[in-house]
Structure 1
Amino acid sequence: MISKRAFIAILTLLPAFLSGCVTQNYENDDTPVVQNQANTDDMAATRISLGLGYLKMGNMPQAKQNLEKAKNFAPNMVQVYTAFAHYYETVGEHKLTISSYEKALSIKSDDADTLNNYGVYLCRQDKIEAAEKQFLKAIAVPSYLLVAKSYENLSSCFLKNDDFIKAEMYLNKAILHSPSSSSILFQMIRLQYAMGDYKQAKSFNQRFERVTRRFTSQFLALSYKVHYKLGERGTAKNYGTMLVKMFPQSWEAQQYLLNELTSIEADSLAKRYELLKATNTLTKPKKRIVKLSPKKSKKTSPESVDKTQKQVVAEKEVNRVHLSTLKPSTVKEKKAIESSDVVQEEPKTGTQDQSKKLPGFHVVKAGDTLYGISLKYNIKVESLRRWNNINKKLYIKDIIFLEDPKLVNQ
C-alpha cells in the first residue's frame, strides 16, 4: 500500500513524464488531428522510420501505410519521397522509384543525400552516366560532408562496368577526402591487386594497418595474396597464420588451409582486368609499314643478281620462322599474317652482323618457358616480365609482348 507522502511525490512527477506524449484523435477520414505543439515534421519522421522498419521486415502493406501517413503530415518533406523511392525500388516499381526521386529533387534540387541515393539507384540499374551525373551534383553541394562516400560509390559504379581507369581515379579522390577510411583503403588495395600493381597494393596495405587494427578475414586474405605475389613468402605466411587464428571458421581461413588461397574474390576481378587489357591491346588497329624497294642500277652484273636472289631467299626464311611462331590455324589466316605489318627490312650491304626485326608478340605454345622465349628472341627475362606484367605461370595461347607496349602505342 502506497503511503500518503509517496503518493504526493508521484503526482508531482507526473507532469514531467507526460509532457512528451501526444494526444490525438481522428476525424472520419482517419487524418490525425494533433492537439499539442508537436512539430509535424517530427511526426512525419517517426512514420518514415516505422515505414522503413516494416519494409525491412517484409511487411509491405504496413510500410506503405506509414509512408502515406508521413506524407499527410509533411507533404513537402524531401525525406518522405526518398523513403517512397526506396519502397518502390524494393517492390520492383522502377518508374515510380524514379518519379519519387524526381519529386524529392523538385522540392530541393541540391539535397545531397537524395542526389547520392539517386546515383546509387541508377548505378544498380546500369545507368552509369546518369549515376555519375547525380553523384557529382551531390559532391558539388558545399555543405555535403559525405563527399568521400560518394566518390567511393562512383568508383564502385565504374568498376561494376569494368572501367578500371575511372574507378581508380574516383577512389583516389575518395582517399584524398577521407585518408583514414579503412573501407576506402581496402577497396584500393583490392583494385591495385586486380590491376597487377602489387607494390602499390602493398603501400595501401600498410596505410590500412596504420589507420585501423580491426582486421577482417577478407583483408588478411588479400594481404596474404599481395605479399605472395611480391615474393615475400615469409610475410605472406604470417598473414595466413593470423587469418587462421583470428577467423578459424571463415571461408578464407578454410581456403588457406585447403589450397593456400589459390583464388579469392580479388582474383576474379583481376581476371576481368586481364581480359579487358588483352582485348583492348589486341584489337587496336596496327600501323601498316610500307616497304620500299631499293633502287636498282641500270646495269646489273651476274654477281649482283645472284646476291639479290640470296637476299630474297634469306628474307623468306626469316618470315617463315616468324610465321611459325604465330601458328595460324588456317591457310586464310596464314595469308593474312603474311600481308600484315610484320615486315622485315632488307639487309644492308656491307654489314656482317645484321639484326632482325622482332615480331610484336609471341603466342605461348606447349613446352614454352619464359627463359626459352627470352633466348629465342634475345631479350632479357626481366624485360619480358616488366613488359607483360608476368608474376604467374605461362598458359597456352598467352600473348607475350616482345617489346614495351607503352612505347609501341605512342
Structure 2
Amino acid sequence: MQKFNRFMVGCCFALTVSGCVTQNYENDKSTPVVQNESTQNEIAMTRISLGLGYLKMGNTSQAKLNLEKAKRFAPKLVQVYTAFAHYYDTVGEPEQAIQSYEKALSIKSDDADTLNNYGVFLCKQGRYQAAEEQMLKAIAVPSYILVAQSYENLALCQLQANDFNKAELYLGKSIAHSPSNASSLLNMVKLQYAKGDYKQADVFLKRYEKASRRFSPESLALAYKVFAKGRNLKTAKNYAAMLVKMFPNSYQSKQYLLNGLSTIEADKLAQKYQESLRTAAQKSRKKRMVKLSPNSSVVKNTVKKPEKPSQEIVKSQAEKDVAVDSAEKINQVNSEGQQVTLPVHVVVKGDSLYSISKKYNIHMKAIERWNGIKRSNVLKIGDVIYLANPKKIVKS
C-alpha cells in the first residue's frame, strides 16, 4: 500500500508585532540586540528548516545542532518539538520521539498537524489503537483542512493491523472528503482487489484514472490483475499491452513478460486478508456448540475423564497423551427426552479421517457415515467428529 503522508513542518506564522520584547547577544556579548517574539520565531523556523535539511542529507550532528538552536530561540514553539520528534524517529530513538510529541501537545493540545504526525509515528511502532486515537483527534479539530489525508493515514494503519473493515471505512471517508484524491482511490482499488470484489475494484479504478489522468506501471499492473481475476481477459490484455508499450523497462513490465504478473503488491494484501478470515473463523469455531440433531437441544457440554478406546493403536507415550486429551464425551438430550452420552473427537492440527480411525480403531466408512462427511472433506481445527452412531447411542 502507499506509504503514510510524509512529515511536514508548517512554516507559516502570523507576523503580528508582540508587546513582549527580549534581549539577545550576538557575537559581541556586550552589545544587546533587541528582538520581539515574532522575530525569535522566524529565526527558530529558519533553524528548523536547516536542521531538517541536514537530517535529510544524513548529517545528524548538524541537524541536531540547528534544532537545539531553534529551541534556544523559541522554547515554546510547537514546531521545535515536532521537528525533534522527527529527528529522534529518524535516528531510532522512539521513546525520545514520544517525549517530543508529548511536549509539543503540552504546549498546544489541539495542534492538528502534530496529532496527525504523532498518530503516524505510533502506527509505525505497532501501537494501532493509540495511533487511531491521535489521528481522530486531529480530524476533530474544526480548523484542520487535511482531513482526507488523515483518514487515508488511518486506513493504511488499519491495514497494518489487519483490520480490513476499518480500513475500508476510513478510505471511504477519505474519498468522501476528497473525491479526486488519486492516492486514496488507488488504495481502494487495491483493497477491493484483495477482498475479491473485482466489480468494485473496477469502479474505483475508473475513478482513479479520471482523477489522476495519467498511467503508472503500478496502476496498469493492478488494472491488468483486476480484469484478469474478473475474467475480462480482453480488457486485461489491453492493459498489459499498455504496460509493456509505455513502460518497457519497468519492473512490472518485465514481470509480466516473465511470468504474467503472477504476484503484485495487491496479491500480498489479498493473502493477508485471507489469513485474517481464517484467524476469525478459528476463533469462532472455539465457541461452537455441538448438537445431536435438528430436533435435539444441548443441555450441557461436560468433558468427562477420557477413556482409552478398547483397541486404540498407540505407538508412543506422546500419542497416548494426545488420545487422552482428545477423547471426550458429551452429555445430551435426544429427541425422546432421554439423556445420552456420545463420544467425540475434537480435531486438532494434523488430524485426518485416517489418523482418527487408526487412533480409535474405528473403520473410516463408519466415521464418514456417522458424521455425514466424505474422505475428501478437509477437516478444520475445532471440528467435532462423532465416534459412535448418534442414532444408537445409549442412555447415560
CA distance in 2, matches of 1:177, 1:359: 51
| TM-score, normalising length: structure 1 | 0.67
**Aligned 8 A contact 2:368 2:375 in 1:** no
1:287 matched to 2:321? The reply is no
CA distance in 1, matches of 2:37, 2:102: 32
Cα distance change of structure 1 residues 181 and 214 upon mapping to structure 2, 3 Å threshold? same
The CA deviation string for residues 309-333 of structure 1, in whole angstroms up to 9 with x for no partner, is xxxxxxxxxxxxxxxxx94252279
The residue number in structure 1 matching 2:166 is: 166
Cα distance change of structure 1 residues 108 and 258 upon mapping to structure 2, 3 Å threshold? same
What SS class does the counterpart of residue 284 from structure 2 fall into?
A: coil
**Aligned 8 A contact 1:78 1:107 in 2:** yes
The residue number in structure 1 matching 2:147 is: 147
CA distance in 1, matches of 2:375, 2:208: 39
The CA deviation string for residues 325-367 of structure 1, in whole angstroms up to 9 with x for no partner, is x9425227976x99xxx9989xxxxxxxxxxx96599746xxx
**Aligned 8 A contact 1:186 1:205 in 2:** yes
CA distance in 1, matches of 2:358, 2:34: 82
The residue number in structure 2 matching 1:403 is: none
The residue number in structure 2 matching 1:99 is: 99
The CA deviation string for residues 104-153 of structure 1, in whole angstroms up to 9 with x for no partner, is 00110000000000001100000011101100000000000011111111
The CA deviation string for residues 177-228 of structure 1, in whole angstroms up to 9 with x for no partner, is 1111000000000011011111111110111112121221111100000001
The residue number in structure 1 matching 2:116 is: 116
Cα distance change of structure 1 residues 334 and 164 upon mapping to structure 2, 3 Å threshold? farther
The residue number in structure 2 matching 1:313 is: none
Cα distance change of structure 1 residues 257 and 115 upon mapping to structure 2, 3 Å threshold? same
CA distance in 1, matches of 2:375, 2:27: 80
The residue number in structure 1 matching 2:202 is: 202
**Aligned 8 A contact 2:353 2:375 in 1:** no
Letter in 2 for 1:279: T
The residue number in structure 2 matching 1:26 is: 27
**Aligned 8 A contact 1:25 1:34 in 2:** no
**Aligned 8 A contact 1:26 1:32 in 2:** no
Residue 295 of structure 1: CA displacement?
A: 5.2
The residue number in structure 1 matching 2:275 is: 275
Q: Which structure has the larger Rg over C-alpha atoms?
A: 1
CA distance in 1, matches of 2:374, 2:120: 43
Higher strand share: 2
CA distance in 2, matches of 1:38, 1:295: 88
The residue number in structure 2 matching 1:349 is: none
What SS class does the counterpart of residue 271 from structure 1 fall into?
A: helix
Cα distance change of structure 1 residues 37 and 280 upon mapping to structure 2, 3 Å threshold? closer
**Aligned 8 A contact 1:171 1:188 in 2:** yes
Alignment of 1:190-269 (within 5 A): 190-269=190-269
The CA deviation string for residues 359-380 of structure 1, in whole angstroms up to 9 with x for no partner, is 599746xxxxxxxxxxxxxxxx
Residue 74 of structure 1: CA displacement?
A: 1.1
The residue number in structure 2 matching 1:66 is: 66
Cα distance change of structure 1 residues 329 and 50 upon mapping to structure 2, 3 Å threshold? farther
The residue number in structure 2 matching 1:183 is: 183
CA distance in 1, matches of 2:105, 2:144: 15
The CA deviation string for residues 247-280 of structure 1, in whole angstroms up to 9 with x for no partner, is 1111101001111111111111111111221232
The residue number in structure 2 matching 1:330 is: 355
CA distance in 2, matches of 1:107, 1:160: 31
Give 5+ residue unaligned stretches, structure 1.
1-22, 297-325, 346-356, 365-396, 400-410
| TM-score, normalising length: structure 2 | 0.69
CA distance in 1, matches of 2:143, 2:37: 30
CA distance in 2, matches of 1:24, 1:249: 58
**Aligned 8 A contact 2:368 2:374 in 1:** no
CA distance in 1, matches of 2:34, 2:226: 61
Number of residue pairs matched? 301
**Aligned 8 A contact 1:26 1:33 in 2:** no
Cα distance change of structure 1 residues 25 and 199 upon mapping to structure 2, 3 Å threshold? same
**Aligned 8 A contact 1:27 1:33 in 2:** no
Letter in 2 for 1:41: N
Residue 163 of structure 1: CA displacement?
A: 1.1
CA distance in 2, matches of 1:287, 1:53: 62
What SS class does the counterpart of residue 223 from structure 2 fall into?
A: helix
Higher helix share: 1
Q: Which has the higher contact order (CA 8 A, sep 6+)?
A: 2
CA distance in 2, matches of 1:262, 1:100: 45
Cα distance change of structure 1 residues 33 and 215 upon mapping to structure 2, 3 Å threshold? farther
The residue number in structure 1 matching 2:83 is: 83
The residue number in structure 2 matching 1:3 is: none
**Aligned 8 A contact 1:328 1:334 in 2:** no
| Percent of aligned pairs with the same amino acid | 55
Alignment of 1:379-398 (within 5 A): none
CA distance in 2, matches of 1:127, 1:243: 38
The residue number in structure 2 matching 1:306 is: none
Give 5+ residue unaligned stretches, structure 2.
1-23, 297-333, 338-350, 382-396
CA distance in 1, matches of 2:235, 2:214: 19
Cα distance change of structure 1 residues 93 and 282 upon mapping to structure 2, 3 Å threshold? closer
Cα distance change of structure 1 residues 359 and 180 upon mapping to structure 2, 3 Å threshold? farther
CA distance in 2, matches of 1:51, 1:87: 9
